[in-house]
Amino acid sequence: MKNSGLNFKQKNYSTFSEKIARVANLFHLLGVDCKKNIDIILEQTCHILDGACSLYCRMDDNQKSLKLWAGYKIPKGFDEIFDVQDSFFRKTTIKDKNTPVIFSDLKNTPFFATDPIISKYNLKSCLGFPVTLKNKIIGLLCILDIKTRFFTTQEVHCIQTLAASLKLEEERLYIENERLDLQQKACEEKEKYLLFLEKKLKRSEKIKLISTVAGGVAHDLNNILSGLVSYPELLLIKLPPDSPFKEYISLIHDAGLKAADIVHDLLTLTRRGIPNQIIINLNKVICEYVKGSAHKRLEKNHPQIEFKINSAEDLLNISGSPSHILKVIMNLVINAAEAIKGKGTVTIETFNRYIDMNSNKYDTLLEGDYVVLRIMDDGDGIPKKDLNRIFEPFYTKKQMGRSGSGLGLFVVWNCVKDHMGYIEVNSKKNEFTVFELYFPATRKKADSDPNDFFIDNFKGSGQTVLVVDDSYEQRKITLDLLEMLGYTPSAVSSGKAAVAVLEKHPFDLILLDMEMAPGIDGLETYKRILKINPIQKAIIATGLSKNEKIKKTLMLGAGHYIKKPYTIEKLACTLKNELNS
């Protein structure tokens, strides 16, 4: 034992039966802690095989060197020099998973003079057996001694059995680590989901705040815009065809309609649900858009851009609002055109697609038939960092007030969601952007197209109409329009005044504003009117979207609701339909 550093002395289990009994007893000593069990196995290995010390050496991830994992009676400083790639342990261990490592006299091997572990600790003999996991060698269980000894077949069988028990502990440890990893991943996923919900809640609160402000602004703007939409339209009807003022008034009228569109976009912040859904064919809506003035202006402003239409001939129908879908197409095509600097192509495609798996980035895509609207451009693309925010209200890279309101894609998102649809966006910077909109398909036939509007077919014949509105400008505009349409109109500025007038004089129809201040609103006004005349016909006029007040008023008996600022066509049709209902 001179200079060996190994001075451990223990009972010698000389007979094979004693060694076997000790191995059998080992399994009674093991508990539930895998790492502690490994230490017990190493201790028993040293006792059973009567060695100076026992080691469990593990391979590194690259299978290039052995590291000391655990041991029993390891001499001081042994672990500091053990991690050596060229040690005899590394050179002799990983040969075959079923082949033991046997050195009866290390002094007579070429390792003795060069290996720092053998020479420093004067090791003379070694017996080891590879430990495997998932059919792969991961380490070596071995017994070292400072005396020359010839290991018997029984001792080799013993260390093989001990290595097998070590393998079982490694398998249990592996399974436990996998379970902990799964728990960790589950915790991380849960944390991510909670952060997602928190972010979604904050976004919802932000949109709610914006919606409150936008709703109020939109209501006031609609009353102001009525003069810019209705009066120019009235003048255009009354002016002779060759009037030099027609062009100027048309420009004013177009400006009013554009402003009304922006206000309508503001109202999408508060609107959910699509009124008046019908069965439509998406190809026809695209055709209507392409033939319209908005697209003609876009082509004029971007003469270097080619607009392509690729429509599937056998396209299925969808259920929805043509005007809302047209707005979606217009917003996406304008966005695509503005993303191109110079020459380029914007492509509008439609096709059918059956989805049989969930594969959507932004939402869950359910199984079923879909009509897909794809709009592509070869413009600047959308940076990756912006992709997750493009559908937020007022999030825009355009110059606010000039080329964008920041509501275009938010309008698209809301409209698609209201149609129970889905959106997929792919983009590569400076190469392309692709929007794919999925609308649930239907096998029903499309509704027939409405007849062209002829104002003479929708004029009244002297029926009395009471206009109830708190805005003087709105009352004045509506009275002029009603007179031009052949009705006998009157107007009051509040709900209480309307109730007082109806107590004395009956009216064929009431045109009722929903938001009036001060005093009672449209809903309360209509409730009081019904006490006077339970079958009173009424139309709701509002600058807001269809909210709970409007729904309650409609349930009470009001026939229709019309949004401000209304056009002559819309007003004439709504009046005629309600009076004839």
Which residue from 113, 127, 119, 25 is spatially nearest to 81, judged by alpha carbons? Answer: 119
Tell me how many degrees the CA angle 535-539-544 measures, rounded to the nearest 5: 140
| pLDDT recorded at residue 48 | 85
| pLDDT recorded at residue 83 | 59
Q: What amino acid is encoded at 461 in this protein?
A: S
Same domain for 468 and 429?
Answer: no
Give the helix/strand (H/E) hosting 204: helix 153-238
- Does residue 66 form part of some domain? yes
Which residue from 373, 392, 387 is spatially nearest to 268, judged by alpha carbons? Answer: 392
Structure confidence at residue 405 as a pLDDT band (50, 70, 90) = low
Same domain for 86 and 164?
Answer: yes
CA distance 360 to 347: 22
Query: Which position has the higher pLDDT, 129 or 225?
Result: 129
Same domain for 79 and 176?
Answer: yes
Same domain for 426 and 467?
Answer: no
- Does residue 236 form part of some domain? no
Q: State the average pLDDT over residues 359-370.
A: 64
Q: State the average pLDDT over residues 187-204.
A: 79
Structure tokens at 421: 């649809």
- Read off the pLDDT of residues 406-465 as tens digits, 9 standing for 90 and up: 567 877 887 888 888 888 889 888 888 999 999 998 878 776 544 456 677 788 889 999
Picking from 10-24, 201-215, 505-519, which range would have the lowest pLDDT averaged per residue?
10-24
- Does residue 41 form part of some domain? yes
- Does residue 508 form part of some domain? yes
The answer to whether the CB of 122 falls within 8 A of the CB of 146 is: yes
Give the range of the structural domain holding residue 486, as residue numbers without chain letter: 455-580
- Give the Å distances, CA to CA, from 457 to 454, 460, 461, 566, 572: 6, 9, 11, 18, 9
CA 512 to centroid of chain Cα atoms: 41
- Boundary residue ending a domain (442, 473, 507): 442
pLDDT higher than threshold 80 for residue 562: yes
- Does residue 84 form part of some domain? yes
The answer, yes or no, to whether the previous bond of 303 is cis (omega within 30 of 0) is no
- Does residue 142 form part of some domain? yes
Picking from 224-238, 359-373, 395-409, 445-459, which range would have the lowest pLDDT averaged per residue?
395-409
Q: State the average pLDDT over residues 200-206.
A: 71
- Read off the pLDDT of residues 51-79 as tens digits, 9 standing for 90 and up: 888 888 887 766 666 778 888 888 777 76
Structure tokens at 56: 């469990």
pLDDT higher than threshold 80 for residue 2: no
The answer to whether the CB of 271 falls within 8 A of the CB of 414 is: yes
Same domain for 432 and 482?
Answer: no
The answer to whether the CB of 483 falls within 8 A of the CB of 464 is: no
Residue with tokens 């495609």: 349
pLDDT higher than threshold 50 for residue 402: no
Question: Most confidently modeled of 225-239, 316-330, 564-578?
Answer: 316-330
Same domain for 438 and 478?
Answer: no
pLDDT higher than threshold 70 for residue 211: no
- Boundary residue ending a domain (138, 159, 180): 180
- Read off the pLDDT of residues 312-321 as tens digits, 9 standing for 90 and up: 888 889 988 8
- Give the Å distances, CA to CA, from 440 to 327, 337, 462: 18, 27, 46
Q: State the average pLDDT over residues 534-559.
A: 84
| pLDDT recorded at residue 494 | 93
Tell me how many degrees the CA angle 568-574-578 measures, rounded to the nearest 5: 145
CATH code for the domain of 71: 3.30.450.40
Same domain for 370 and 492?
Answer: no
CA distance 279 to 285: 12
Q: Which residues pair with 369 in a beta bridge?
A: 354
First to last CA, the chain: 114
Tell me how many degrees the CA angle 194-197-200 measures, rounded to the nearest 5: 150
Same domain for 432 and 465?
Answer: no
CA distance 325 to 416: 8
CATH code for the domain of 459: 3.40.50.2300
Same domain for 438 and 459?
Answer: no
CA distance 391 to 387: 8
Rounded to 5 degrees, what are φ and ψ at 509?
A: -155, 145
CA distance 94 to 101: 9
pLDDT higher than threshold 90 for residue 346: yes
pLDDT above 90: percentage of residues in the chain: 17
The answer to whether the CB of 380 falls within 8 A of the CB of 463 is: no
pLDDT higher than threshold 70 for residue 537: yes
- Does residue 464 form part of some domain? yes
DSSP line for 362-379 = SS---SEEEEEEEEEE-S
Same domain for 356 and 493?
Answer: no
| pLDDT recorded at residue 210 | 65
Residue 338's contacts (CB-CB under 8 Å, 6 or more residues apart) are: 379, 398, 403, 404
- Boundary residue ending a domain (392, 421, 442): 442
Structure confidence at residue 134 as a pLDDT band (50, 70, 90) = confident
| pLDDT recorded at residue 506 | 93
Same domain for 301 and 426?
Answer: yes
- Does residue 209 form part of some domain? no
Report the domain count for the chain: 3
Same domain for 422 and 548?
Answer: no
Q: What amino acid is encoded at 453 in this protein?
A: F
pLDDT above 70: percentage of residues in the chain: 79
pLDDT higher than threshold 60 for residue 470: yes
